[in-house]
Amino acid sequence: MGRITALEYYDEVLAGIALSLLGGGIAGLLSPVAVTTGIFAGSLLATGILYLALFRNPPTPASDPEVAAAAVVWHVVPIGLGGSLLL
């Protein structure tokens, strides 16, 4: 049987999200760090994994003009909002 690489990649993404949250919770239980702090750290890692899966390696081809425009908006708007919050 042939390999289905798209499924394998997104299976790894889902596993990475679950493991980062689980690892944060376990770190909170087994170390002096509070459980909520461990889960928060795990959720930051899960957010990074999700960002990579959706925007750095999107499921649709980046050559599509609509996808390119959406990627620009998703990268520029948060930076603009963050800059306006600092002022």
Q: What are 10-53's pLDDT values in tens digits?
A: 888 999 999 999 999 999 999 999 999 999 999 999 999 999 88
Q: What are 66-76's pLDDT values in tens digits?
A: 777 777 777 77
Terminal CA-CA length for the chain: 57
Q: Which of 47, 46, 26 is nearest to 37 (CA)?
A: 26
Q: Which of 23, 18, 19 is nearest to 38 (CA)?
A: 23
Q: Residue 70: what residue type?
A: A
